[in-house]
Amino acid sequence: MKNYYKKGTDWSYVRQRVYQYALLARLNKPIGIFLLLWPTLWALWIAAEGMPRPGVLTVFVLGVILMRSAGCVINDYADREIDPRVNRTKERPIATGKVSPDEAMLLFMGLCFTAFLLVLTMNTFTILLSVGGVMLAGIYPFMKRYTHMPQIVLGMAFAWAVPMAFAAQTNEVPRIAWLIYVVTVIWAVIYDTMYAMADRMDDLKIGVKSTAILFGDADRVIIGILQGMMLFALYLVGQQAQLGVEFSIAILVSAALMVYQQYLIRYRQPALCISAFLNNNWIGLVLFVGIVASYLSGSNPAN
């Protein structure tokens, strides 16, 4: 039986609990926030054809932080019997008994409720779409027990902010929003497969499924194919949004970063696979800079 911390009343206890909850929400590892934030910002800027409304931007940035944190909490709740058996995750708060499953569920519901309060400041269409986002965030952590492609469900959850962003900014979800959605899903499968490659041996031992296991020795080749698909889809986004040469340069830089990621994972060493995963943050940033620069420079015909 795990030894959960006993209740206390002093400030040191309060600080300890807050610290453990922050670890559970992975606030000490903001990479997940950035990987969720970049597609959201792509969508907001393209939907607004430039700078989005400040209120919409604020709600979505805060919503990304809250929902990514909620996703981490429910993930660790779902994996509470698995994490102690995996070297990389055995020190997580629930796995060590520093946070109870009940506390985790309360934190998850609190984060989701706070995010929903933010969404209530948006239009009705956005509010309705938010229900789908919560459902995807809730089911993703359990998918690794039933399918070798939980990364696709993760991508669907991460990408759901894209149609919501268009709905909030324009009160509609045009075709280009779904194209960006597809880009985001593909990208999530790419980087989360790299992440799963680091855990492949542990996952095989305990029976957890992933695309890294499904792809096997063809993992690098399939990731390369997915990277090519993502680059082509980004080209289509640029064409439909009439983005300028700045975005084309951003796509080329992203392609170079993908080549570097392939170099990192060439021997499938866990630490380097994690480095390749982390490197995706730069792709998100580069593409965002390309979009913003296109609108600022006036090379976008819509300006």
Domain extents in the chain: 19-135+147-297
What pLDDT was estimated at residue 300?
Answer: 59
Query: What is the distance between the alpha carbons of residues 212 and 194, in angstroms, rounded to a whole number?
Result: 7
One-letter amino acid of 182: V
* Exposed e or buried b per residue across 220-253, where buried means at least 16 C-beta atoms within 10 angstroms of its C-beta: bebbbebbebbbebbeebbeebebbebbbebbeb
CATH node for 19-135+147-297: 1.10.357.140
Query: What is the distance between the alpha carbons of residues 302 and 290, in angstroms, rounded to a whole number?
Result: 16
Does 9 have pLDDT greater than 50? yes
Question: pLDDT for 12-68, tens place per residue?
Answer: 888 999 999 999 999 999 999 999 999 999 999 999 999 999 999 999 999 999 999
Q: How confident is the model at residue 299 (pLDDT cuts 50, 70, 90)?
A: low
Question: pLDDT for 223-263, tens place per residue?
Answer: 999 999 999 999 999 999 999 999 999 999 999 999 999 99
Tokens 């690794």 sit on residue: 144
Query: What is the distance between the alpha carbons of residues 95 and 229, in angstroms, rounded to a whole number?
Result: 38
What are 243's two structure tokens? Answer: 């983005």
Q: How confident is the model at residue 303 (pLDDT cuts 50, 70, 90)?
A: low
Q: Rounded to the nearest 5°, which phi and psi values hold at 184? A: -70, -40
